[in-house]
Structure 1
């Protein structure tokens, strides 16, 4: 860490010395109507045609060849702005762009200069705003960013109604999901039918599935970085919607005009209210709902300092009368300080808290007990951005993360038929430092490279066990509050772009990422009751080495964007389970785990139309994902659960008239790999199934078509707007298999038959949206 810090300081001085002859200006680009900062806005200098983009806080820094110059500022959905600047008189600016208003919606994946997808060294990344996906049809008519990213190449769907996703053959737990820099552990409501993220509160979403920058770490497959809106600092406004099973409301406005603002957004389902109509008293007392709340405050101290505070709280509550209840939820809090040291050096300091909790309460005649689990972390994060010149940008920083896991423990009453079992907590501290450099040495070559160093410390107190090859505990050792083991790792990153011309480029990337938090699940969908474990004496950190190469081209004056990417990913220290593993309330859980390796490779094609009345995208992924464990399948490689040969998505959006917008979404993918019984036998007159090959069978192929229509009537009162959204999910009523199970034939018990359970048929939806 000391050597890395010394290198960072030395490199900063070198870049500063190199840039001294230039004139620098800096500032922010904002929305003229709300004061919201714009992420990824482009500023181009007239004299040298150099262009820069605003960072995730709306900040920019650029160099001028001369004190007096002209800038051209642009952002998707906003009126471009041409301005004159004089660096001798002013070096700090705040530019405001005016929304285009009621014009044709452009569905693009990032707000950037039109050929940025070709010229940028970054590959395997997508960026989009909520406005750009508002007409994509999803289940129950709710705009859902997690369902939308599942239509991108290399991103696999978790299944019917699920918010889980799998990136380039990785597991669902190998995706880092951040909300204003805070980790979200379970990003789903109602077991996956809704995502955690209320789209009204979201400004920008960025997904990295390859060439992941060094400032991100902790998950080996992807990073999904989500930013909440800051709040309108010019006027009070609100928006919301009333749907068939859920409603939402957002309020925002200035606390002190153009200096501070707030945003408050809430959402709740009311499916449980329909239960009150039942004549059954038990059903009347049942619960079936979720709610979530997003809040954000910001205060500009002066032109160099801004403070942000944001938080999220969401909870699901399911229950059947007084007999059973199950609730779970996420909570996050982020306190940020943005500071501008100079026109070249920008700083962001963050204090972050995250937790995820679930509780199961059973109360019947024989058993009364509660199962609960909790995972929480505290994170101190410091990031610097140094804009040396138009060809060099340096980012560096560090973070200290403290994690604590309270595994699922069972607490029973004295009269219960089951016994209490309290599982000890686990603690860990992860220190990390990084440096990344974006370099454009010559016009046809751009590079983004960096290094991340991590030290994960297994912490006490606690008792740690050793296990034999059969998973039986053979010894133990107790520790106090001390460092038990260090895992030191280096994670190099590299992305590069070879620009053939302003319409074509070839890109390549390599990254190594390490993961110290592991989710234990034996399903293809992430469930709230899935267990988490930290790296320990038995569990080594997962890691992945990924290489990718791609060809990018734009057509017809950047109206069409095309890309093809190939990738190979090797995954070490992967985790699976012994046959019949007990994952709940198990003091010797680590003995149920097996450790092996994995690999994933594939080809991704993406074609997008970004302009005109008809736009959208087509994505196709040809992929393979497999695992190898010495104790499974006699050591032979087998398909991962999320292995899919083919995955196709087609999204089309059409502006029919000024009042009507239409949307369509078609998906098809090969069925997940699954383990089916190979035979059966009888024990004490009970039929038992015999399993051989792991994941040796396939679920049926999945496909469906969704349609949507949005009507925006013309209202004389310009201060109030409303629209109606109509949707049909699974238009042709395809009965896609959710579960395949087995049973004995009623007429002949010697015959075993498979049967399918389908979750959804066709589902209509209607939502009234309003804004004032």
Structure 2
């Protein structure tokens, strides 16, 4: 980006962008490993144990730094103006989990499941916004969970009732009851329903109104707060059209009784830590999904359409009124087709249409000024504001991807799979973003041209297709 503006200066003979810097960088790593042991103690008792470790770390920097050149007009020399906005978020989370589950078949129609799980977490979070530290957090909570379920099968009915009890960070035991059933009806229909109470102890940070670069997520532990709480209701109906084709309809409603978000701009009178900016609210989500899946000869695939609504409500946002949730997409259309040319060669095509998310398109700019008497420079920290939360909808996202999956019969990949006693090995080549001529806009940057003329510069990152290679083995 810097090279582009310097090219403009050199081509036209300007010096407008001589001291210009626009940086967006992100660094992230993911690691995971697991060990599973299955033990059949008797025909009626089955034990499964698992040790799992995962870690995620990220560092995301967004920086816009523009120093306007000095302007001389007659005898007047205007002070250099420095326009700058920046953010830097660091996040690291690791999880070491140990889990054991026992299945006990009491009778042909009755199965009991019980288990215990322990998670050892480690969190590190820090944020710097406009060169001001928002504080750091280091926390290592532990979580114990006990769970049990009773499964009953009688005729056309399958009924499951269970409970999960959790104690997080040595606070108190919280219980999460859950129920679901499946009822087989005449004419190849099947009715499904579920109800459950859920708690959330780790949340994803909302930085969409601060960061220009939003390619990674940040996770934050609810250390000194009650966990998020929601109640889920689901009803579904399946219809088997023929042995290879099925259509299904699902309806859902989520009552979000307690949810949290960060008020990152909460700096009216003093600088406060990041943990003090956590605000509690509520909301709901509901919608439906229609899916058709099937196969014929060598061709298989599925198609789904989703319709959804989601709302949030916080005391400090929009005067406490409900507003559309940031990441809700009203319409989603997904199509996937897979063609097996031979037993060792497959072609895959996927198409995705996602209607635009809601965003707060800023219409007014509020500037904070800082004058340095030593350098005689005036620094401006602009904050774009809006009188309404999520007052606009972004354009839809459209993606078309293709891939080829080939089973390896020779070469290093085949040799390596045999060395570790794997049954099969595959090479997968994926072509992403084949609809790159149709730009997917990720952000509208406001360009202030005057009190009566505000325009927005669309910004996206999917300007070119990309190719990915992967190697997989099957034991």
Q: How does 1:71-470 map to 2 (within 5 A)?
A: 327-358=27-58, 373-408=91-126, 423=136, 425-441=138-154, 443-458=155-170
SS at match of 2:275: helix
Q: Deviations over 1:108-130 (max 9, x none)?
A: xxxxxxxxxxxxxxxxxxxxxxx
Q: Deviations over 1:255-275 (max 9, x none)?
A: xxxxxxxxxxxxxxxxxxxxx
SS at match of 1:591: helix
Q: Deviations over 1:507-548 (max 9, x none)?
A: 111111111122322239975572512331xx2101211111
Q: Deviations over 1:600-644 (max 9, x none)?
A: 000110000134233211100010011111221111110111112
Matched, 1:678 2:363: yes
Matched, 1:693 2:406: no
**Contact 2:100 2:117 survives alignment (8 Å):** yes
Distance 1:727-1:678 versus aligned 2 partners, 3 A rule = closer
Which of 578, 585, 592 is the matching residue for 2:263? 578
Distance 1:733-1:656 versus aligned 2 partners, 3 A rule = farther
Measure, in 1, the Cα distance between the counterparts of 2:431 and 2:277.
45
SS at match of 1:590: helix
How far is 1:389 from its partner?
A: 2.8
How far is 1:335 from its partner?
A: 4.4
How far is 1:500 from its partner?
A: 0.9
Q: Deviations over 1:367-400 (max 9, x none)?
A: xxx9865333443322111122321221101123
Q: Which moved more, 1:705-714 or 1:337-346?
A: 705-714
Distance 1:702-1:512 versus aligned 2 partners, 3 A rule = same
How far is 1:658 from its partner?
A: 7.7
**Contact 2:148 2:162 survives alignment (8 Å):** yes
Distance 1:545-1:421 versus aligned 2 partners, 3 A rule = closer
RMSD: 3.8
Measure, in 2, the Cα distance between the counterparts of 1:713 and 1:359.
37
Measure, in 2, the Cα distance between the counterparts of 1:764 and 1:344.
51
How far is 1:699 from its partner?
A: 0.4
**Contact 1:328 1:359 survives alignment (8 Å):** yes
Measure, in 2, the Cα distance between the counterparts of 1:673 and 1:729.
23
Measure, in 1, the Cα distance between the counterparts of 2:147 and 2:265.
42
**Contact 1:728 1:762 survives alignment (8 Å):** no
**Aligned twin of 1:554:** 240
Distance 1:666-1:354 versus aligned 2 partners, 3 A rule = closer
Q: Deviations over 1:199-252 (max 9, x none)?
A: xxxxxxxxxxxxxxxxxxxxxxxxxxxxxxxxxxxxxxxxxxxxxxxxxxxxxx
Distance 1:770-1:547 versus aligned 2 partners, 3 A rule = closer
Which of 440, 450, 457 is the matching residue for 1:755? 457
Matched, 1:631 2:333: no
Q: Deviations over 1:288-347 (max 9, x none)?
A: xxxxxxxxxxxxxxxxxxxxxxxxxxxxxxxxxxx9986432344444443332221122
Distance 1:434-1:526 versus aligned 2 partners, 3 A rule = farther
**Contact 1:659 1:712 survives alignment (8 Å):** yes
Q: How does 1:614-625 map to 2 (within 5 A)?
A: 614-625=299-310
How far is 1:736 from its partner?
A: 1.3
SS at match of 2:319: helix
**Aligned twin of 1:123:** none
Q: How does 1:537-616 map to 2 (within 5 A)?
A: 539-556=225-242, 558-578=243-263, 580-581=265-266, 588-616=273-301
Q: Which moved more, 1:334-343 or 1:618-627?
A: 334-343
Q: Deviations over 1:29-55 (max 9, x none)?
A: xxxxxxxxxxxxxxxxxxxxxxxxxxx
**Contact 2:28 2:59 survives alignment (8 Å):** yes
**Contact 1:518 1:535 survives alignment (8 Å):** no
Distance 1:570-1:421 versus aligned 2 partners, 3 A rule = closer
Measure, in 1, the Cα distance between the counterparts of 2:473 and 2:98.
37
**Contact 2:264 2:274 survives alignment (8 Å):** no
How far is 1:405 from its partner?
A: 2.4
TM value normalised by structure 1: 0.46
Measure, in 2, the Cα distance between the counterparts of 1:593 and 1:500.
48
**Contact 1:730 1:761 survives alignment (8 Å):** no
**Contact 2:151 2:158 survives alignment (8 Å):** yes
Which of 336, 345, 350 is the matching residue for 1:651? 336
**Contact 1:493 1:510 survives alignment (8 Å):** yes
**Contact 1:408 1:531 survives alignment (8 Å):** no
Distance 1:559-1:339 versus aligned 2 partners, 3 A rule = closer
Measure, in 1, the Cα distance between the counterparts of 2:163 and 2:390.
37
Distance 1:387-1:732 versus aligned 2 partners, 3 A rule = same
**Aligned twin of 1:703:** 398
Measure, in 2, the Cα distance between the counterparts of 1:399 and 1:356.
21
Instruction: Decide which structure has greater strand share.
Output: 2
Number of matched pairs: 398
Matched, 1:735 2:439: yes
In structure 1, stretches of 5+ residues that fail to align are 1-322, 363-369, 411-417, 459-485
Q: Deviations over 1:96-118 (max 9, x none)?
A: xxxxxxxxxxxxxxxxxxxxxxx
Measure, in 1, the Cα distance between the counterparts of 2:46 and 2:232.
31
SS at match of 2:172: strand
SS at match of 1:644: coil
Measure, in 2, the Cα distance between the counterparts of 1:595 and 1:403.
23
Q: How does 1:480-499 map to 2 (within 5 A)?
A: 486-499=171-184
**Which structure exhibits the higher relative contact order, with contacts defined as CA atoms closer than 8 Å and separated by 6 or more residues?**
1
How far is 1:361 from its partner?
A: 10
Measure, in 2, the Cα distance between the counterparts of 1:334 and 1:713.
25
Distance 1:328-1:667 versus aligned 2 partners, 3 A rule = closer
